Structure formats: C-alpha cells, structure tokens
Amino acid sequence: MQEGGAQYFGTQSFMSLYPAGDQTTPLPAPTDWRGADLDGGNNSGEIVEGALERLWRLDNENAGQIRVHMTAQADSFKAWKDAYVALKGTTDPAVLTLFNNAADNGIVYTRGKVTTFSEGAPPVAGPPAPGNFRVIDNIAFVRGTITPTITQLTLAETPLATNSAVIAADQKDMGFKMAGADLLDNPVGFTFLGPVAFGSSLTWNTTTVADNDYDLLVKLRNAHTWLDSFKPDFTGDTNAAYNTNEKWLKTQHAWYSQEAVPTDPDKGKVIVDNTGPQASNFKPQ
C-alpha cells in the first residue's frame, strides 16, 4: 500500500508538470496485472504497487483519493476501499469505476466453481423429482430440482502469486443461459437464480425453463463485498488451451464443464429434459 501510494503521488506530480501525461508509465491494459511474462507477475517485482497506482490513476478522482490516503492511513486495500466508499457512497461513479478497475488489475480475485450436482438417476417416466442429475458420455442431463455443489477456488487454483490473499466467500449464485455451439463465448447474458449465503443450499428448479441445452456459471461474493466480475479478459491469451473467456472459466470450473481442459462444447453444458420418455404406440401382433 505504501509503495503503491508513493507511485500514485509520484505520477500525479509528474503529470501536473507535464500536461501530456506520464510518458514513462502508460495506461494499463486488462492483462497488465500478469506482468511482462504473462504469468501472474512472477518476474515483475512492481506488479502489486504498480497495479494499485494504475487503479487510483484510472479512477481519475484525485480529490477523494488523496483525502483517503491522507486521513485513513490504510494498511490494506480493503481498509482503503472501505474509507473511500464511506466518503463517496456505494453508487458514486468513481467508486463503481474503482471496483471494475480493481478486478481488471487482479487486485481483487474471488471465484467459485461448480463440480457436480446432487446425484441420482432421472426416473424412467412420471413427474420431475428432486435431485435428478446423471452424466452420460461426459454430458450432463438434469431434471426437476437440482442442487449444485459450489466451492471457492483455492489460491493454488488461481493464477495469482503465492503471497496473494484469497478472501473467503460469503455469497454464491448460479446463472444459466442457452448453450452455444463453440467455446468462444463470454460471461454475459446469464440469468442468475439469486444469491444465497455461501454455506446455504442453492437449488435450481429446471421445470421453470424449456427443455434445451444450457451453460451454467457460478458467481461468488467475498466477505469484503466484492462480486466476481469474471475479469481479467483472457480473449487472445498466448496459451491456446484457454485463449477465450469461456475456455478459461471452464478450465477453472466457474463455468460448468465436464472437461478439465475444455475441447468440446457439448461436454461443458447441461441438457434439461423434463419431458421424459413417451409411451410407445407400438402394438404387438
């Protein structure tokens, strides 16, 4: 925090002398938090303080930021954020920009994953029953009311440095939308069920949607009230295994998938089938 604050004050001083801006520290790109090696800043000693400085500079609200720096004397980003929100209010545009840029620069990282659902064979016929989930040929079939098993990614499962902190989740939610035919999608357009406490049961009544193929996405909120914004953007990443947001989130299982390394869109969706088999009109002779 101290080094990030020092960089922030330094660049503000430089920019006040040179109206064209700070030519030595360009504005950040969405993947700058990963460092020049694109590997979580492993070889970038300034990645944390640099991200903080860029976060405050991009927010472009110097008066409030400097006031918080001078009065709050925060020794953590959470303490700084709490003081800034108390000063500006939760709906202030600068605060909302702060939240988005914090996620862009990898400062806040809270993510969940869905690994399975309440297991049980769908009935041969009859009305939908609770907990009907079955994987057949690596494709998930669901019926009735199902309960996803949602956990939080550990530090080892994230792309963060080993000295990073992962804040415990306090809420979870799951969204659904019609599944695409490729692995090029983005985490937008999902209809979410509604958040519940992280330790509570979250259920999806699949009878409320039409029988079809669906993508599922898990969203967590951590105890510091930061929601997963599914950033930074992995579109065009140098690693072909996860060079789209859909592939990256499926690799982490925040976007439901039966594959550890997604290669087939059919194995990363669930098929809702509440119709069940129909009686045959075949009549034996």
Q: Does one domain contain both 99 and 240?
A: no
The pLDDT of residue 272 is: 93
Q: Does one domain contain both 95 and 185?
A: no
Measured between its terminal Cα atoms, the distance across the chain in Å is 83
257 alpha-carbon distance from chain centroid: 15
Q: Does one domain contain both 75 and 174?
A: no
Q: Residue 77 forms beta bridges with which residues?
A: none
Q: Does one domain contain both 96 and 130?
A: no
The pLDDT of residue 48 is: 59
Residue where a domain stops, chosen among 104, 131, 151: 104
Q: Is residue 278 part of a domain?
A: no
Q: Is residue 214 part of a domain?
A: yes
Q: Does one domain contain both 54 and 93?
A: yes
Q: Is residue 123 part of a domain?
A: yes
Q: Does one domain contain both 116 and 66?
A: no
Residue where a domain stops, chosen among 73, 104, 135: 104
Q: Does one domain contain both 88 and 161?
A: no
Q: Does one domain contain both 150 and 74?
A: no
The pLDDT of residue 211 is: 94
The pLDDT of residue 23 is: 43
User: CA–CA separation, 266 vs 182, rounded Å?
Assistant: 9
Ranges of residues in the chain whose predicted pLDDT is under 50? 21-25, 28, 30-31, 33-35, 37-46, 125, 128, 282
Q: Is residue 283 part of a domain?
A: no
The two three-digit tokens of residue 107, written as one number: 């400062």
The pLDDT of residue 134 is: 84
Number of domains in the chain: 2
Q: Does one domain contain both 118 and 258?
A: yes
**What's the 3-state SS for the chain?**
CHHHHHHHHHHHHHHHHCCCCCCCCCCCCCCHHHCCCCCCCCCCCCHHHHHHHHHHHHHCCHHHHHHHHHHHCCCCHHHHHHHHHHHHCCCCHHHHHHHHHHHHCCCCCCCEEEEEECCECCCCCCCCCCCEEEEECCEEEEECEECEEEEECCHHHCCCCCCCCCCCEEEEEEEEEECCCCCCCCCCCCEECCCEECCCCCCEEHHHCCCEEEEEEEEEEECCCCECCCCCCCCCCCCHHHCCHHHHHHHHCCECCCCCCCCCHHHHCEEECCCCCCCCCCCCC
Q: Does one domain contain both 160 and 233?
A: yes
The pLDDT of residue 274 is: 87
Q: Is residue 139 part of a domain?
A: yes
Q: Does one domain contain both 226 and 248?
A: yes
Residue where a domain stops, chosen among 69, 104, 139: 104
Q: Which domain holds residue 93?
A: 2-104
User: CA–CA separation, 45 vs 203, rounded Å?
Assistant: 44
Q: Does one domain contain both 120 and 94?
A: no
Q: Is residue 172 part of a domain?
A: yes
Which residue has 């949607």 as its token pair?
A: 209
- With both helix axes pointing from N to C terminus, report the angle between 62-72 and 2-17 in degrees, rounded to the nearest 10: 140
Residue type, 235: T
